[in-house]
């Protein structure tokens, strides 16, 4: 798996990766790349970036507000690809997208993944595309060299886990606990450890843990539980209107690893 940028980053680093999440275009087209640059300068080992969507039921209120902010500022999906291109010009760390399926469908599956490849995106996770429908995009994603990332949780049966592990590439997004992103103090080290142990039986992909990780203590607990990476969304997004704080928060969370 030398061609897996996530695996390479993990190996090179020798410890778990810190992966902040923000929504592309939040709060607007001009500020968004600067915010992402701040994250890179403050310790991001990889980036998880969302395309803003009008109806994001898999996200919590903080991320939805970010989507609304970006869309209200007039951002369109072409703008998001422009921002991605700009981001790629100042960093070579892995970039993953988190999107909703309708945005992929309306751009056209083929064009969407071709555009991702062109701007240097490494992976795409479609929040509302479960295993049952994965074959609608996975062959196209792989053709363009984009890793299809999939999500597992404590609710995922062994049988599904096996099938998911078979088609996923890049990394597996492991849900820290079943609920919604951005809920405080919900990461239990033990819970994460158990899910990771089960998941590890099925795959050699890096296991990145996300959902509800908001404090340095929770980052540390996730790392102690054996995660290969920690994804933090809401905690970062909450600071979007005070860009000075973003760097500090990012650095503080990163330092907990």
Distance, C-alpha 192 to centroid of its chain: 17
Q: Is 106 in the site for other proteins (CB under 8 A)?
A: yes
Q: Considering the candidates 26, 48, 82, 169, report the single residue annotated as catalytic.
A: 48
Structure tokens at 188: 């239990």
Determine if 198 is a binding residue for other proteins (CB under 8 A). Answer: no
**Residues 45, 17: contact at Cβ < 8 Å?**
yes
DSSP summary character for residue 114: H
Any contact of residue 165 with other proteins (CB under 8 A)? no
Please give the DSSP secondary-structure letter assigned to residue 138.
H
* 38 or 181: CB nearest other proteins: 181
Distance in angstroms between the alpha carbons of the first and the last residue of the chain: 24
Among 27, 50, 56, 229, binds other proteins (CB under 8 A): 56
Which of 33-41, 90-98, 145-153, 223-231 is the region at the interface with other proteins (rule: CB under 8 A)? 145-153
Residue 44 vs 175, nearer CB to other proteins:
175
> Would strands 147-148 and 150-152 be described as parallel, antiparallel, or unpaired?
unpaired
Residue 201 CB partners (closer than 8 Å, separation 6+): none
Pick one of 23, 46, 66, 77: the residue that binds other proteins (CB under 8 A).
77
Residue 180 binds other proteins, judged by CB under 8 A = yes
Q: For the chain, how are helix, strand and coil distributed in percent, rounded to 5?
A: 50, 15, 35
Footprint of other proteins on 200-239 (CB under 8 A): none
Q: How many positions of this chain bind other proteins (CB under 8 A)?
A: 40
Catalytic (active site) residue 92: no
Is 48 a known active-site residue? yes
Active-site positions read: 48, 59
């Amino acid at each position: 798996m030398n061609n897996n940028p996530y695996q390479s980053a993990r190996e090179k680093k020798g410890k778990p990766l810190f992966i902040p999440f923000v929504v592309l275009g939040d709060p607007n087209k001009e500020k968004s790349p600067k915010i992402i640059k701040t994250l890179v300068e403050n310790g991001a080992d990889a980036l998880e970036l969302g395309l803003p969507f009008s109806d994001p039921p898999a996200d919590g209120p903080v991320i939805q507000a970010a989507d609304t902010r970006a869309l209200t500022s007039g951002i369109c999906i072409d703008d998001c690809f422009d921002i991605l291109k700009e981001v790629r010009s100042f960093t070579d760390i892995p970039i993953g997208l988190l999107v909703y399926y309708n945005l992929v469908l309306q751009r056209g599956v083929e064009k969407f993944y071709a555009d991702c490849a062109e701007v240097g995106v490494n992976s795409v996770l479609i929040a509302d595309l479960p295993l049952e429908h994965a074959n609608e995009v996975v062959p196209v994603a792989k053709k363009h060299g984009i890793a299809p990332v999939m999500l597992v949780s404590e609710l995922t049966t062994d049988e599904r886990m096996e099938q998911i592990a078979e088609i996923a590439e890049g990394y597996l997004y492991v849900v820290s606990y079943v609920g919604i992103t951005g809920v405080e103090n919900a990461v239990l080290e033990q819970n994460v450890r158990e899910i990771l142990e089960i998941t590890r039986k099925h795959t050699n992909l890096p296991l990145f843990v996300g959902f509800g990780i908001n404090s340095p203590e929770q980052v540390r607990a996730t790392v102690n539980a054996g995660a290969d990476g920690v994804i933090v969304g809401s905690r970062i997004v909450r600071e979007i209107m005070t860009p000075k704080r973003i760097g500090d928060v990012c650095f503080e969370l990163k330092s907990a690893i």
